[in-house]
């Protein structure tokens, strides 16, 4: 999959393009938002939720929460951290500090790469590139959600109370024992894998000579995300508890080992999603070039560092669900941009066993715009 050339942001050009687009959007009313959000806690196992929805011009900016979460609550964003890591990667690419087509062998030692991706008895590890990682087209298995040789899944163990530490060396060792998905860069193939972004972390650390947690903290500072922290953090001691069904789960050992898991708020997530898609850092043309979509699992596709949520018209015959691009997390967390409506939505239902609730709620909300 060829990567686009990294264009330089052009704020004036972006503003011109946006001024020429006539967006028809109804302003969501607070009482409507409150009613929809209140209904989330009527679903099984949902203890609390929060949503923040905002128009591009901020003529509409609403919060609503329910249950044990307030608009100010800190919550675990889970895999939305991948969008922040992509943000760091793409900016380095714009500055020509990296090339997405570069092979991982330029950054990672042989002992890490040798035998990392073996497919049909052939080692393709030397063909892996940064682009493969950020687009989930590497073919690498996920050390969390894919089956180990014994048939178990590490994520199942973690969710059922067996918190585990997963430093990068352990990740690499585990992945080398697992079955690969496909040859890196196979046309039309993508497979969602936490492994990709753990390796991307390491590449970014080599390029910048900074730990990944520092690179993430730099983003928080730049975007004034004053309530966002890399976990574990004393500043996030009041983070909303994470639930698996009715049980609170403790994953502090896991957080201590990854150095890239994040706690944030709906407001801080709004600052970030606006920064990513609002034109300040990346032009609309640049964002379009990231939309090299491959299916990962329904209802999601993945591009270059960004995720797309889509519902085919066949499954929504009465009203088309607009395109949403951004990212979601396994705890029912969301941070998405609606290009057709020029609006943004962030939030969580904070439940690992039934994150689909967040998408049903999100669809209800966007259909009111």
The pTM is what?
A: 0.91
Give per-residue pLDDT as tens, 185-194: 999 999 999 9
Is-contact 362 324, C-beta < 8 A?
A: yes
Q: Which of 9-18, 178-187, 208-217, 248-257 has the lowest mean pLDDT?
A: 9-18
**276 found inside a domain:** yes
Pick from 13-27, 242-256, 332-346: least confident: 13-27
pLDDT exceeds 70 at position 9: no
Indicate whether 1 belongs to any domain.
Answer: no
Please tell me the least confidently modeled range out of 12-21, 211-220, 335-344: 12-21
**Domain assignment present for 254:** yes
In Å, how far from its chain's centre is CA 77?
A: 8
Please state which of the ranges 13-17, 45-49, 111-115, 227-231 shows the lowest mean pLDDT. 13-17
CATH number of domain containing 282: 3.40.710.10
Number of independent structural domains in the chain:
1
In a domain, 295, yes or no: yes
Give the pLDDT score at 22.
43
Residue 140 has pLDDT above 60, yes or no: yes
What average pLDDT score do residues 52-73 get?
Answer: 96
Helix pair 266-277, 81-94: axis angle to 10 deg: 30
Residue 240 lies in a domain: yes
pLDDT of amino acid 339: 94
**pLDDT tier at 13 (50, 70, 90 boundaries)?**
very low
- List the Cα angle 283/270/348 in 5-degree steps: 130
- Report yes or no on 353 lying in a domain: yes
Query: Quick check: 109 pLDDT over 70?
Result: yes
Where is pLDDT greater, at 113 or 319? 113
Residue ranges making up the domain that contains 265? 11-366
pLDDT for 2:
45
Indicate whether 33 belongs to any domain.
Answer: yes
Q: How far apart are CA 302 and CA 304, in angstroms?
A: 7
Q: What is the pLDDT of residue 317?
A: 44
* The two structure tokens encoding residue 184: 């890196």
- Residue 5 lies inside a defined structural domain of this protein: no
């Amino acid at each position: 999959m060829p990567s686009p050339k990294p264009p330089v942001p052009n704020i004036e050009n972006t503003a011109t393009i946006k001024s020429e687009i006539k967006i028809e959007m109804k302003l969501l009313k607070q009482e409507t938002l409150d009613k929809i959000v209140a209904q989330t806690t009527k679903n099984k196992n949902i203890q609390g939720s929060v949503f923040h929805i905002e128009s591009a011009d901020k003529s509409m900016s609403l919060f609503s929460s329910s249950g044990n979460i307030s608009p100010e609550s800190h919550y675990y964003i889970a895999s939305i951290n991948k969008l922040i890591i992509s943000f760091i990667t793409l900016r380095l690419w714009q500055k020509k500090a990296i090339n997405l087509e570069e092979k991982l062998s330029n950054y990672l030692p042989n002992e890490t790469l040798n035998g990392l991706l073996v497919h049909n008895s052939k080692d393709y590890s030397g063909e892996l590139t940064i682009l493969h990682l950020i687009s989930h087209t590497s073919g690498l298995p996920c050390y969390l959600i894919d089956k180990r040789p014994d048939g178990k899944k590490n994520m199942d163990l973690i969710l059922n109370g067996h918190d585990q530490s997963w430093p990068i060396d352990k990740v690499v060792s585990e992945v080398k024992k697992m079955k690969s998905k496909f040859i890196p860069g196979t046309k039309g193939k993508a497979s969602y894998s936490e492994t990709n972004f753990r390796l991307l972390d390491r590449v970014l650390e080599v390029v910048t000579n900074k730990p990944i947690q520092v690179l993430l903290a730099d983003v928080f500072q730049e975007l004034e995300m004053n309530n966002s922290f890399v976990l574990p953090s004393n500043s996030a001691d009041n983070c909303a508890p994470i639930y698996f069904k009715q049980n609170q789960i403790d994953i502090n050992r896991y957080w201590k080992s990854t150095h890239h898991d994040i706690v944030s708020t709906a407001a801080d997530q709004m600052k970030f999603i606006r920064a990513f898609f609002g034109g300040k850092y990346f032009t609309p043309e640049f964002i379009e070039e990231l939309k090299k979509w491959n299916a990962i699992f329904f209802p999601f596709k993945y591009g270059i560092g960004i995720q797309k949520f889509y519902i085919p018209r066949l499954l929504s015959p009465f009203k088309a669900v607009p395109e949403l691009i951004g990212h979601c997390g396994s705890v029912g967390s969301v941070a998405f941009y609606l290009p057709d409506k020029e609006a943004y939505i962030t939030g969580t239902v904070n439940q690992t066993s039934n994150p689909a609730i967040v998408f049903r709620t999100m669809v209800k909300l966007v259909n009111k715009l």
